[in-house]
Structure 1
Amino acid sequence: MTGHVYVTRLLTDNAMDAVAALGVPVVVGRESPPSRAELLRDAAGAVAVVSTLTDRVDAAVLDAAGPGLRVVANVAVGYDNVDVAAARSRHVAVTNTPEVLDAATADLTLGLVLALARRIAEGDRFLRTGAAWVWGPRMMTGLDLSAGATLGVVGYGRIGRAVARRARAFDMRVLATPTRSPMTAQERTAVEFRELPALLAESDVVTLHCPLTPATHHLLDEAALARMRPGALLVNTARGGIVDTDALVRALTSGRLGGAALDVFEDEPHVDPRLLTLEQVVLTPHLGSAGAATRDEMCALAVRNVAAVLAGEAPPTPV
């Protein structure tokens, strides 16, 4: 087989061993994202591209790879960084890594819910200033999750359902937007379904788990944020573009919202500097899948997808 496998970012050790075992020349990028020029250069002549969500794999990259390209294996559940239509028109398979990161992302989501509700990060920052303090009954009070708080899950897919299960363990009431995805009877009865406007109005905490599509871009815009309860909390571990950052900053600075926890951003890896100044905001650098075992399995699944396509077989997780 002519051509090479282009791995845009250094994967986990186990996954890199699996890449080497493919028996095809390999071009490997750094741990940091490739520049646009590097992406186009190293994709040239590739039979497979193993990409990450920071790599914009569009028609130009596909054309740079040439007619020998057979698969783009994205190391992520989302694939909004890949022009799927352009790939299909060139008979290039596109794959992702679903399911393996559901639990890890749900765990982080609940961690962010707790960090906001109980002001954990805020308390940590306060103590690090060295300021004098004395405990008092009104000091840094927050939201009691187990005292009837309502969680609104926007996107009741695999990750949304995993979040709902964890929230139920905290005795939270859970609302979710309707879904067409198959679900068990237990998953159906564990939540109350609401259309988005009603869910926003009834929830103390809103957490986002829908994909980023043209229909969901800025789903939480000025009008949607205004529907949320005064003082409500927002958590986003899905995609940054689902939230209108300008509208969110206005809702936070006005006091309309009580806080936000963001693991994703509209212009990653750049974070809007206004968010950095807000005390009631918790920020993490896209850590949703950052369990060591989870990341290892994501990378391994991407390589298995490549191996299958190069062997003339159907990939395990096609888009």
Structure 2
Amino acid sequence: MARPLPKRVQDAARAQFDVTVREITTPLTGDEMRMALSEFDGVVPTLGDMFTAEVFADVPKPRCQVLANFGVGYNHIDVAAAKAAGIAVSNTPGAVTDATADTAMCLMLMSARRAGEGERLLRAGQWEGWHPTQLLGMHLGGRTVGIVGMGRIGQAIARRCSHGFGMRIAYHSRSPKELDFEAERKGSLLELAASVDVLVIAVPGGAETHHLINAEVLSAMQPHAHLVNIARGNVVEESALIAALQAGQIAGAGLDVYEFEPEVPKALIAMENVALLPHLGTAALEVREDMGMMSVDNLKAFFAGTPLPNAV
């Protein structure tokens, strides 16, 4: 296990396997990844463990047979290179859906209603009491939310927005979706960006979505609109976002992920109209336990010779 996982998960793994847990929380180094491929039958990597083609190439005869990724996103693993090396890859979809959607709603409210700004004001001892025009934000009810990517997480966000806040739903995805709520599919990302009050990013990471949200998309957004990203940091071109916020092209942003995390630009930290979370998307004990148990189930299935429940 590349990181310490919840006790319930470690106990479940130890009931089946001889388990080694790496007891630090930073991503695996290149040498550690090569060692893991050489010395273990299975590895549970997670976000930041960059299993690139070069890493696999350096271990031509790996002992490792399966990477049971802890997390739904697996853009840190070169899946084609892993499979070429004879290594199966799995992930943990489903377990993260509701928690990630909840985080999107948290950021939407924090950004639109200026919650972070208000808390900082109060903690700094600068709040002088209620008055009618203090910290006026944007009411979400009746607004239009645009969702980029209408997969499991995108749909969960849309349901919360529609049923919980009475928002109109628009989306952009590669293909139309059969949905159990009203939503308008926009023909292009630019058309979506120009038509919504809140733009929420819910696409997978990877080469296809790198800098999907760039200066052109941000310039298409309305000046009162907010951007929310709970996907992967590099889906948003961070320098373009900073420029758009500084120029007043958009009203604010809510971010749980960052292009070069854990580095967060000082320019973002300095802005009052940006809500920042430290990648809390799935940070609930039950959710992390469910994710871990899915990783263990993938390992159990692989070594029992049965199909992976969540192969990628």
Indicate whether the TM-score tops 0.5. yes
- Check whether the contact 2:146–2:170 (CA below 8 A) recurs between aligned residues: yes
2:43 is paired with a residue of what secondary structure? strand
Alignment of 1:82-161 (within 5 A): 82-146=77-141, 148-161=142-155
Partner of 1:268 in structure 2? 261
Partner of 2:285 in structure 1? 292
Partner of 1:318 in structure 2? 311
Give the deviation of 1:269 after TM superposition. 1.6
Q: Which of residues 13, 21, 26 in structure 2 aligns to 1:28? A: 21
Determine whether 1:59 maps to 2:59: no
2:208 is paired with a residue of what secondary structure? coil
Unpaired runs of 5+ in structure 2? none
Q: Deviations over 1:24-83 (max 9, x none)?
A: x32211241233333333442211110001111123443448432211111111110001
Partner of 1:224 in structure 2? 217
2:102 is paired with a residue of what secondary structure? helix
Partner of 2:193 in structure 1? 200
Give the deviation of 1:101 after TM superposition. 0.8
- Check whether the contact 2:36–2:64 (CA below 8 A) recurs between aligned residues: no
Q: Deviations over 1:143-162 (max 9, x none)?
A: 1111x211000000000000
Partner of 1:3 in structure 2? none
Determine whether 1:210 maps to 2:203: yes
Q: Judging changes above 3 Å, is the alpha-carbon distance between structure 1 residues 182 and 65 closer, same or farther for their aligned structure 2 residues?
A: farther
Instruction: Output the CA distance in 1 between the equivalents of 2:66 and 2:282.
Output: 23
- Check whether the contact 2:297–2:309 (CA below 8 A) recurs between aligned residues: yes
Instruction: Output the CA distance in 1 between the equivalents of 2:158 and 2:286.
Output: 22
- Check whether the contact 2:38–2:63 (CA below 8 A) recurs between aligned residues: no
2:213 is paired with a residue of what secondary structure? coil
- Check whether the contact 1:45–1:65 (CA below 8 A) recurs between aligned residues: no
Partner of 1:163 in structure 2? 157
Q: Deviations over 1:144-194 (max 9, x none)?
A: 111x2110000000000000000012011111113537634x24xx21111
Instruction: Output the CA distance in 1 between the equivalents of 2:167 and 2:46.
Output: 35
Determine whether 1:174 maps to 2:172: no
- Give % identity: 40
Could you state the TM-score of these two structures normalised by the residue count of structure 2?
0.94
Q: Judging changes above 3 Å, is the alpha-carbon distance between structure 1 residues 109 and 29 closer, same or farther for their aligned structure 2 residues?
A: same
- Check whether the contact 2:38–2:62 (CA below 8 A) recurs between aligned residues: no
Instruction: Output the CA distance in 1 between the equivalents of 2:297 and 2:195.
Output: 43
- Check whether the contact 1:156–1:179 (CA below 8 A) recurs between aligned residues: no
Determine whether 1:12 maps to 2:1: no
The CA RMSD over aligned residues, in Å, is 1.6
Could you state the TM-score of these two structures normalised by the residue count of structure 1?
0.92
- One-letter amino acid matched to 2:278: P
Unpaired runs of 5+ in structure 1? 1-6
Determine whether 1:78 maps to 2:70: no
Instruction: Output the CA distance in 2 between the equivalents of 1:254 and 1:204.
Output: 18
Q: Deviations over 1:248-302 (max 9, x none)?
A: 0001111111111110111122212221111111111111111211110001101
